Amino acid sequence: MNVLDQCERAREASLQIAAASTDVKNLVLYELAEDLRVNKSKIITANKKDLSENRKLPEAMLKRLKVDESKINDMVAMVASVAKLDDPVGKVLSKTELDKKLILEKVTVPIGVIACIFESRPEVVVQISALAIKSGNVVLLKGGAEAANTNKVLADIIRKSIKDNEGIPEDAVQLLETREQVRKILQMDDFIDLLIPRGSNELVKYIQNHTKIAVLGHAEGICHVYVDVKADMQKALDICVDAKCQYPAVCNAMETLLVHKAIAQEFLPKIKQRYDAAKVELRGDIKTRKILQGIKAASEKDWNTEYNDLILSIKIVNDVDEAIKHINKYGSGHTDAIVTENKTTANRFLQLVDSSSVVHNASTRFADGFRYGLGAEVGISTNKIHARGPVGLEGLVIYKFMLKGDGHIVATYSGEKARKFTHKRL
Amino acid sequence: MNVLDQCERAREASLQIAAASTDVKNLVLYELAEDLRVNKSKIITANKKDLSENRKLPEAMLKRLKVDESKINDMVAMVASVAKLDDPVGKVLSKTELDKKLILEKVTVPIGVIACIFESRPEVVVQISALAIKSGNVVLLKGGAEAANTNKVLADIIRKSIKDNEGIPEDAVQLLETREQVRKILQMDDFIDLLIPRGSNELVKYIQNHTKIAVLGHAEGICHVYVDVKADMQKALDICVDAKCQYPAVCNAMETLLVHKAIAQEFLPKIKQRYDAAKVELRGDIKTRKILQGIKAASEKDWNTEYNDLILSIKIVNDVDEAIKHINKYGSGHTDAIVTENKTTANRFLQLVDSSSVVHNASTRFADGFRYGLGAEVGISTNKIHARGPVGLEGLVIYKFMLKGDGHIVATYSGEKARKFTHKRL
């Protein structure tokens, strides 16, 4: 299949699905949930083929690639939960009377055509498709080559659920199968409204650097925890362990720990005990290494590094302002936390740290669409426009202005005898 | 001044102005209104210099370049009106209890650093600066070379108003003065969060094609009016004249008229009379020219052309669906209108035409921030993400998530004895 053809059919489909009713979209989702359940063995068979063809991949990747009955149950539950979410389309954001019988409404509409490029985890096919259908968008999906068989079966199931119900064109969900197609997709700015890459820093950066299409996502997650002089010691210890060790391979795990100089002498040896038990490698600045003798030195490069591993850099700072400055300079605008009992200090941190999630007295690991209660997420964005932080259905819509009049013309409101607008909020 | 220096100072300033209170921002705006009034003669003197140095420019451009007492009064009124608008920053968009004492808020914040590149009209300096200050953003401004003296005086007045009040750094508003600086700005994606170009199609397209920074705006305004079989004849005539003739040089003027085949025989000769009186050149498809004999032929190129002039292309269509298809194919997603008394047809058009403004029984010329009641506008966007249509203060903010806990860690919510989230909307 030619990519230009796919894009043209996607654009055409987007104009149709935009008008689909909530009922039609939910019917498709409920059938999809059922079809996933019915086709369990077919999915698992395809996945076994992927697993056997990619035996040489690292353990962690194989674990992400594997689809078993429990993962399919999770997909079924996820699709059903998306069906239960409010329809994000058709919401009237504002309504204004410009003049008698001249009414302006700002109404949410789907974005249009979205392309999602991801690696390894096949459940992303189902997750993104469900969110796209619910929000009236068309989606082009490109998964990792290692999951090709699983992705194909999942996409076929999704397209069949769409086809079995009238009102949404089958082309609302399309799979791209080669890397060459991805390269072409990046040039299709006339057809694609938004790109969502999910995967390694390299993948995301490559895409950001090779397209004019808007990209939603994040390349790096260099997250910080700042332990303030007024921190509660127990909370600080628990949060620092959770943020680093609970799942170190993910974007919202802590990479750099900042500690107030007046509490460092007490706090650092205690946290080191906990980290030693969890086998975390520590790297410190000069001041830190005066307290934690024998740990490695942290260089300028460490402050810029997302380890995604059991490694942590530590720096002692003079006050909250130095912590804020460090985070705004070296952070990736993803998620940063402060531990303190002083509310003024906490508020200063929450206001001045320029990140998508700012956290007081809790772990950075909470920054996630499911934990935030968004239902499901298309990803986490560190963009400064459109959508920031964990992005759920709300990030997949935009709005249009609908103006309804009764023959109104602008000439009436211009010149010497200009009629005035009422501009009344309704 | 080195562009990198300016960008670094802009970024630094953005972190400060983001925390400025509504009162501080309004104080600066009220002083700015006063300072513009006091410095009228200084502004007019600088503007006279620009006018005399650019005597050879076309009449229309000189008219846009000229700043007289009445235009300064308009600027003063505009700045005061921005001061009166609600502060778009610090609004709580949603509040969710994730669990006891673990509260998530989604709060509006400024975008950060915005660069605006525009042509000719010096009042844009004041308009964009006022909106940027109110929304807590830093702005880098580059105006046309022909307005250099006027722009400099205006920027100096703005910076003085900022300096006279504590709480906002002077570098929140900076002027760029050379074209070379603009080329450099386009590469500053580490410092600049949003580009807003205002001017010719060529300017906007050049910028869109030469930067990785998000661009807000529109290149073309190819707007349509569709006159349906159920149109009220008088409304159709008035709207078509207004949309084409009231101000043909602007982006929301009509470029192509679509007419239902069953009403064409009656409507076209009548509208031709009105257009002849207004000296509008008509170009028609084959069917149109059977009714309006002697007018020029419209080619494929005409459907893609923004004339910005007293020229109009006309096409006869079979029904509303052909009109919608034509608009979605050839339009620029700016503003498109239908004239009909049939509500079902109107709703179909409003829903299926994929444009930033869709209009029923009113002129396309209403699509404008002032007429829509937004207070002031930074421009009109045909983007499909972030902000669409006329963009006011709301388009200059994004949000961040603020999570406030009491020592909460993710480990509590994982594994076998996982605690459940409450996800209660507050």
The angle subtended at Cα A328 by Cα A334 and Cα A380, nearest 5°, is 10
B22 lies within 8 A of chain A by CB: no
- Predicted pLDDT of residue B199: 85
Please say whether the dihedral angle defined by the alpha carbons of residues A73, A77, A78 and A82, taken in this order, is positive or negative.
Answer: positive
Instruction: Determine, yes or no, domain membership for A425.
Output: no
Task: Give a yes or no: residue B425 inside a domain.
Answer: no
Q: Which pLDDT tens digit goes with each residue over A81-91?
A: 999 999 999 99
Place of tokens 């390299």: A202
Same domain, B42 and B150: yes
Give the residue from A55, A103, A157, A155 showing the smallest Cα distance to A406: A103
* Residue A283 and residue A307 in one domain: yes
pLDDT at B301: 97
Instruction: Give the domain CATH number at A127.
Output: 3.40.605.10
Between A321-330, A333-342, B61-70, the lowest mean confidence (pLDDT) is in B61-70
Same domain membership, residue A235 and residue A133: no
A382 touches B: beta carbon within 8 Å:
no
pLDDT at B416 (0 to 100): 87
What would the pLDDT profile of B289-314 be if each residue is shown by its tens digit? 999 999 999 999 999 999 999 999 99
Residues A228 and A306 in one domain: yes
Average the pLDDT over A159-173 and give the result.
Answer: 95
- Average pLDDT, whole number, for chain A? 95
> Is the same domain home to B191 and B274?
no
First CA to last CA distance, chain B: 49
Q: B272-283: per-residue pLDDT in tens?
A: 999 999 999 999
Q: Are residues B329 and B362 in the same domain?
A: yes
| Cβ separation B409–A241 shorter than 8 A | yes
B271: confidence class by pLDDT, cuts 50, 70, 90: very high
Residues A71 and A208 in one domain: yes
**Structural domains in chain A (count):** 2
Q: Identify whether residues A43 and A115 lie together within a single domain.
A: yes
Q: Label each residue of chain B as H, E or C.
A: CCHHHHHHHHHHHHHHHCCCCHHHHHHHHHHHHHHHHHCHHHHHHHHHHHHHHCCCCCHHHHHHHCCCHHHHHHHHHHHHHHHHCCCCCCCEEEEEEEECCEEEEEEEEECCEEEEEECCCCHHHHHHHHHHHHCCCEEEEECCHHHHHHHHHHHHHHHHHHHCCCCCCHHHEEEECCHHHHHHHCCCCCCCCEEEEECCHHHHHHHHHCCCCCECCCCCCCEEEEECCCCCHHHHHHHHHHHHHCCCCCCCCEEEEEEEHHHHHHHHHHHHHHHHHCCCEEEECHHHHHHCCCCEECCHHHHCCCCCCCEEEEEEECCHHHHHHHHHHHCCCCEEEEECCCHHHHHHHHHHCCCCEEEEEECHHHCCCCCCCCCCCCEEECCCCCCCEEECHHHHEEEEEEEEEEEECHHHHCCCCCCCCCCEEC
Q: Would A424 be classed as within a structural domain?
A: no
* Amino acid of residue A385: I
Of A385, A401, A410, the CB nearest to B398: A385
Looking at the fold, whether A298 and A361 belong to one and the same domain comes out as yes
CA–chain centroid gap for B111, Å, is 16
Instruction: Say what the pTM is.
Output: 0.94
Mean pLDDT confidence for A62-90: 94
Pick B385's closest partner by Cβ from A111, A409, A421: A111
Q: Which of residues A366, A393, A415 is at a domain's end?
A: A366
Is B68 inside any structural domain?
yes
Chain A residue closest in CA terms to B386:
A386
* Domain presence at residue B407: no
Say yes or no to pLDDT of A119 above 90: no
Enclosing domain of residue B255: 223-366
Nearest CB to B366; choose among A15, A403, A423: A403
pLDDT above 90 (res A246):
yes
| Residue in A106, A356, A385 closest to B400 by CB | A356
Q: For residue A117, which phi and psi values (nearest 5 degrees)? A: -120, 120
* Shared domain check, B208 and B144: yes
Q: Say whether residue A385 is in contact with chain B using an 8 A CB cutoff.
A: yes
List pLDDT tens digits, range A172-224: 999 998 889 999 999 999 999 999 999 888 899 999 999 999 999 888 999 99
Within a domain: A420: no
In-domain check, residue A139: yes
- pLDDT recorded at residue A375: 81
A418 occurs within a structural domain: no
* B8 in the same domain as B92: yes
The total of other beta-carbon atoms located within 10 Å of residue A426's CB is: 10
CA distance A209 to chain B (A): 7
Residues B130 and B245 in one domain: no
Q: Is A350 on the interface with B (CB under 8 A)?
A: yes
Which residues, at least 6 apart from A70, have a Cβ–Cβ distance to it below 8 Å? none
**Domain end among B366, B393, B418:** B366
Q: ipTM, 2 decimals? A: 0.94
Residue-level pLDDT at A121: 87
